[in-house]
């Protein structure tokens, strides 16, 4: 193919065709003038007039049919037996782009840039330019090269060409993929501009392209967070989340997903199952000696296998507990025998007449109670099915019987020492699980921190019992944010509102705690960590007491907050980020501290010369609405409705 530069005489044979079909002549405009000389030169050289009209978004192009159909399968099909064709939306090609493409059809030269590549590539794909010199290939090879060096520019032009940019050649997802490889996250600015249906499409392409979905999770989470999930319909949110494949997420991201309130419930369920299967696989891998395991395992088999270790653990616990109960029974029986022996000897003064050494007296028979003082019954009593204490022990002709028969129940309790009764209560009265725990703890003396040989003491009244009493679930609402963001104020609002619903709360305010428990701590990083750790520990106790504990402190470092979260059972730590910009907090400056910090009179002030690390994923984010602060009433409602929905306000 000869370049048209070589033509010496060029006449203008190109002309606008105002009468060409729709739209009306008034809406037509001229194609770029650079195309005129090229078409003219071609006409002169081959002595053939332009013989087709192509109308592109209001602009008429008079061109040579053979030039166009030799390169474009779309035009070849459309121009069959006709001499005019209209290219209009939804075919997303502008007149300017078409002129460049037409130019290429004549000259096989094209000037590609990061800003025009998307439009030209899309046009080439839509027009099926895979014939002849092949604009599809030319643009493809340029695109591949340019995204390696300038993907941030390219993606901008690609996003404006959505959805075609994605449907024709996956341009946006390929840019994102390239940028992920280069560690460049500036594409997030472009992502946020996408309408949800475009984002959904790009995410679905990324789903297929990316071998690991950690980055895709971050992109989806960012999108859901920034556009605020509540602006999406539930199905849209589900569709977006469905682009994540749990099996392609690494462990820590999977765990993060499960706890992420922005993820759809369906996705979280899938993630939990995947986490469970992964854990199971690791366990199986660690324990099994089978090396050739090629056959597929059915879900039924998996579940059956899973229940086996569970049952084994249960059986072990019950056996532990039974063993402990037998041991303590034996011990108490020996004690009881010794005490009876002792009293018997004492009363009779006859050490040789030892009834308890006779075979018969080894078994105790307690008569059915007439007015029993301690009976089988509720928690705290001797709850064995076989022990009933009466004020008479029947052992005819035995002096012991007479002695006992004359005693009041109080004396009987003296006679059977408290320790014995308490031990019997322990041996019989406590629930198996609790007993098991205690039996373990008894044998496991630990060293914690600087303390040696310390035991954990279990009490039969536990968190669930207290929660039942209070009709609420013990938890920690952890308010974090800059100084002046409104933590203390919101804590009071929450406490008051919950109080009026009959719920028991307690506030741990950073400022207040520094007046007492934490008075020895400064604002250096390590002291802040210690401050947060201590408050976390106290909060944990309050939650265990069944209270709704509201901790309100800057807690600027993510790892410290995460450490507090880890202290509590899952779901008991509700992190609330009061996301108020520094400028707003600084303008409020209720204590004048920002002013002092700016003047350098306070060093290491959060937000000024000490960092604040916002939560990367927390249960609730309370953000400004545009330039307006969310009202305290609304913030309170958001938190309380979270508590309500998640069952914290009932036992
Ligand atoms: N250097 C520095 N940085 C931040 N804050 C400072 C500082 N010095 C004093 N204050 C005042 O102390 C309050 C913060 O205490 P906290 O215990 O919440 O802080 S932290 O969680 O240990 O970071 C904080 O109170 P709030 O305004 O309630 O947050 C400040 O008033
Ligand atoms: N949602 C809100 N809108 C407007 N002002 C608020 C809001 N929340 C708190 N404030 C005001 O901001 C200032 C700082 O609030 P405070 O609760 O002391 O913050 P923190 O405990 O985070 O330092 C107070 O004067 C308070 O009245």
DSSP 509-559: EHHHHTTTTTTT--SSHHHHHHHHHHHHHHHHHHHHTT-EEEEE-----HH
Q: Rank 127-136, 340-349, 445-454 by mean pLDDT and report only the highest.
A: 127-136
pLDDT tens digits along 322-338: 666 666 677 777 777 77
Q: What is the pLDDT of residue 375?
A: 35
Query: Does 424 share its domain with 565?
Result: no
The answer to whether residues 549 and 505 touch, using CB atoms and an 8 Å cutoff, is yes
Atom 16 (ligand 2): residue with closest C-alpha?
Answer: 486
pLDDT over 90 (residue 591):
yes
Question: Which of ligand 1's atoms lies nearest the C-alpha of 602?
Answer: 1
Residue 502 within any structural domain of the chain: yes
Residue 235 within any structural domain of the chain: yes
Specify the CATH number for the domain of residue 540: 3.40.50.300
Query: Does 324 share its domain with 254?
Result: no
Substitution candidate for ligand 1 out of 528, 530, 554 with most atoms within 8 A of CB: 554
Residue 569 within any structural domain of the chain: yes
Residue 266 within any structural domain of the chain: yes
Q: What is the pLDDT of residue 333?
A: 77
Query: Does 527 share its domain with 634?
Result: yes
Question: How many whole angstroms from 577 Cα to the centroid of ligand 1?
Answer: 16
Substitution candidate for ligand 1 out of 488, 491, 511 with most atoms within 8 A of CB: 511
Residue 616 within any structural domain of the chain: yes
217/384: higher pLDDT: 217
Query: Does 238 share its domain with 341?
Result: no
543/392: higher pLDDT: 543
Whole-complex ipTM? 0.98
The whole-number average pLDDT for the span 588-608 is: 96
Query: Does 284 share its domain with 323?
Result: no
Q: What is the pLDDT of residue 528?
A: 97
Residue 251 within any structural domain of the chain: yes
Residues 6+ apart with CB under 8 A from 192: 222, 223, 226, 227
pLDDT over 60 (residue 388):
no
Question: How many whole angstroms from 584 Cα to the centroid of ligand 2?
Answer: 10
Provide residues with CB under 6 Å of ligand 1: 483-484, 487-488, 510-511, 514, 523, 528, 531-532, 553-556, 591, 593, 602, 604-606
Binning pLDDT at 50, 70 and 90, where does residue 118 land?
very high
Query: Does 533 share its domain with 602?
Result: yes
pLDDT tens digits along 257-293: 888 888 888 788 888 887 777 777 777 776 654 444 4
Atom 19 (ligand 1): residue with closest C-alpha?
Answer: 554
The answer to whether residues 597 and 608 touch, using CB atoms and an 8 Å cutoff, is yes
Percent of the chain at pLDDT > 90 equals 45
The whole-number average pLDDT for the span 58-66 is: 91
pLDDT over 70 (residue 19):
no
Q: Rank 28-42, 134-148, 517-531 by mean pLDDT and report only the highest.
A: 517-531
Binning pLDDT at 50, 70 and 90, where does residue 368 land?
very low
The whole-number average pLDDT for the span 583-603 is: 95
Domain that holds residue 320: 314-365+401-435
pLDDT over 50 (residue 438):
no
Q: What is the pLDDT of residue 337?
A: 78
Report how far residue 362's alpha carbon sits from residue 326's, in angstroms, rounded to the nearest whole number. Answer: 17
Query: Does 420 share its domain with 467?
Result: no
Question: Which of ligand 1's atoms lies nearest the C-alpha of 553?
Answer: 18
Q: Is 247 exposed, middle or buried (0-12, 13-18, 19+ CB in 10 A)?
A: exposed
pLDDT tens digits along 221-262: 999 888 766 678 888 888 899 899 888 888 888 888 888 888
Closest ligand to 494 CA? 2
Q: Which residue, 259, 291, 323, sits at the end of a domain? A: 291
Query: Does 196 share its domain with 320?
Result: no
pLDDT tens digits along 532-590: 999 999 999 999 999 999 999 999 999 999 999 999 999 999 999 999 999 999 999 99
Closest ligand to 604 CA? 1
Question: How many whole angstroms from 589 Cα to the centroid of ligand 2?
Answer: 9
Substitution candidate for ligand 2 out of 483, 486, 556 with most atoms within 8 A of CB: 486
Atom 6 (ligand 1): residue with closest C-alpha?
Answer: 605
Question: How many whole angstroms from 553 Cα to the centroid of ligand 1?
Answer: 7
Substitution candidate for ligand 2 out of 478, 489, 626, 636 with most atoms within 8 A of CB: 489
343/247: higher pLDDT: 247
Mean pLDDT of the chain: 78
Query: Does 426 share its domain with 499?
Result: no
Q: What is the pLDDT of residue 155?
A: 94
Q: What is the pTM of this model?
A: 0.43
Question: How many whole angstroms from 537 Cα to the centroid of ligand 1?
Answer: 19
Report how far residue 239's alpha carbon sits from residue 532's, in angstroms, rounded to the nearest whole number. Answer: 39
Q: Give me the active site residues, please.
A: 555
Q: What is the pLDDT of residue 238?
A: 86
pLDDT over 90 (residue 596):
yes
Q: What is the pLDDT of residue 466?
A: 95
404/150: higher pLDDT: 150
Query: Does 196 share its domain with 324?
Result: no
Residues 6+ apart with CB under 8 A from 478: 539, 551, 555, 561, 564, 565, 573, 574, 575, 576
Atom 31 (ligand 1): residue with closest C-alpha?
Answer: 483
Residue 480 within any structural domain of the chain: yes
348/205: higher pLDDT: 205
Q: What is the pLDDT of residue 383?
A: 32
Number of domains comprising the chain? 3
Question: How many whole angstroms from 524 Cα to the centroid of ligand 1?
Answer: 11
Query: Does 474 share its domain with 541?
Result: yes
Closest ligand to 597 CA? 1
Provide residues with CB under 6 Å of ligand 2: 481, 483-489, 588, 590, 629-632
Question: How many whole angstroms from 555 Cα to the centroid of ligand 1?
Answer: 9
Phi, psi of 314 (to 5 degrees): -60, -45
Q: Is 220 exposed, middle or buried (0-12, 13-18, 19+ CB in 10 A)?
A: buried
Residue 322 has which token pair? 């039974």
Closest ligand to 584 CA? 2
pLDDT over 60 (residue 11):
no
pLDDT tens digits along 506-525: 999 999 999 999 999 999 99
Residue 27 within any structural domain of the chain: no
User: Angle, to 10 degrees, between the axis of helix 117-126 and the axis of helix 95-107?
Assistant: 70
Atom 7 (ligand 2): residue with closest C-alpha?
Answer: 486
Percent of the chain at pLDDT > 70 equals 72
Atom 17 (ligand 1): residue with closest C-alpha?
Answer: 510
Question: How many whole angstroms from 515 Cα to the centroid of ligand 1?
Answer: 12
Query: Does 546 share its domain with 513?
Result: yes
Atom 12 (ligand 1): residue with closest C-alpha?
Answer: 511
């Amino acid at each position: 193919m000869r370049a048209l530069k070589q033509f010496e005489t060029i006449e203008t044979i190109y002309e606008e065709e105002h009468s060409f079909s729709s739209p009306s002549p008034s809406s037509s405009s001229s194609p770029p003038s650079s195309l005129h000389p090229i078409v003219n030169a071609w006409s002169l050289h081959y002595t053939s007039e332009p013989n087709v009209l192509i109308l592109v978004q209001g602009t008429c192009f008079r061109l040579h049919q053979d030039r166009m159909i030799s390169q474009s399968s779309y035009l070849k099909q459309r121009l069959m037996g006709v001499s005019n064709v209209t290219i209009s939306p939804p075919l997303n090609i502008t007149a300017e782009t078409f002129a460049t493409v037409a130019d290429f059809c004549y000259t096989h030269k094209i000037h590609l840039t990061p800003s025009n590549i998307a439009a030209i590539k899309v046009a080439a794909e839509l027009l099926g330019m895979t014939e002849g010199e092949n604009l599809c290939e030319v643009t493809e090879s340029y695109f591949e090269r340019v995204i390696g060096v300038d993907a941030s520019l390219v993606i901008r032009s690609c996003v404006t060409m959505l959805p075609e940019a994605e449907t024709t050649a996956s341009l946006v997802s390929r840019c994102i993929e390239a940028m992920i490889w280069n560690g460049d996250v500036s594409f997030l600015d472009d992502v946020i501009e996408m309408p949800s249906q475009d984002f959904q499409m790009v995410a679905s392409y990324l789903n297929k392209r990316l071998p690991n979905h950690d980055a895709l999770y971050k992109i989806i989470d960012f999108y859901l967070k920034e556009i605020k999930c509540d602006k999406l319909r539930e199905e849209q949110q589900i569709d977006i989340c469905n682009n994540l494949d749990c099996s392609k997420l690494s462990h820590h991201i999977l765990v993060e997903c499960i706890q992420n309130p922005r993820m759809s419930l369906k996705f979280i369920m899938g993630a939990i199952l995947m986490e469970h299967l992964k854990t199971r696989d690791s366990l199986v891998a660690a324990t099994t000696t089978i090396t050739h395991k090629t056959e597929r395992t059915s879900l039924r088999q998996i579940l059956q296998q899973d229940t086996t270790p569970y049952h084994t653990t249960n059986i072990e616990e019950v056996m532990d507990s039974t063993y402990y109960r037998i041991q303590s029974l034996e011990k108490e029986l020996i004690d009881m025998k010794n005490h009876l022996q002792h009293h018997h000897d004492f009363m009779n003064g006859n050490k040789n007449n030892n009834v308890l050494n006779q075979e018969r007296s080894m078994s105790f028979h307690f008569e059915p109670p007439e007015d029993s003082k301690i009976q089988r019954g509720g928690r705290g009593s001797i709850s064995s099915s076989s022990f009933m204490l009466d004020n008479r022990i029947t052992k005819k002709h035995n002096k012991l019987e007479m002695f006992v028969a004359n005693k009041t129940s109080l004396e009987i309790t003296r006679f059977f020492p408290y320790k014995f009764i308490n031990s019997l209560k322990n041996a019989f009265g406590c629930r198996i699980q609790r007993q098991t725990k205690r039996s373990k703890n008894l044998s496991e003396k630990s060293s914690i921190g600087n303390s040696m040989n310390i035991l954990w003491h279990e009490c039969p009244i536990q968190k669930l019992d207290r929660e039942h009493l209070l009709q609420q679930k013990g938890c920690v609402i952890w308010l974090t944010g800059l100084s002046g963001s409104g933590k203390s104020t919101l804590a009071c609002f929450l406490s008051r509102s919950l109080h009026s619903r009959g719920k028991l709360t307690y506030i741990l305010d950073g400022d207040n705690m520094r007046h007492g428990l934490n008075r020895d701590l400064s604002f250096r990083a390590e002291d802040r960590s210690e401050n947060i750790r201590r408050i976390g520990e106290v909060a944990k106790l309050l939650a265990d007491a069944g209270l709704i504990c509201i901790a309100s402190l800057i807690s600027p470092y993510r790892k410290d907050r995460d450490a507090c979260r880890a202290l509590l059972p899952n779901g008991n730590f509700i992190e609330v980020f009061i996301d108020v910009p520094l400028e707003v907090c600084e303008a409020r400056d209720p204590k004048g501290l920002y002013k002092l910090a700016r003047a350098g009179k306070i060093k290491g002030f959060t937000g000024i010369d000490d960092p604040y690390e916002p939560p990367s994923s927390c249960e609730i984010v309370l953000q400004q609405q545009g330039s307006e602060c969310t009202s305290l009433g609304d913030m309170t409602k958001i938190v309380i409705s979270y508590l309500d929905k998640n069952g914290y306000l009932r036992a």
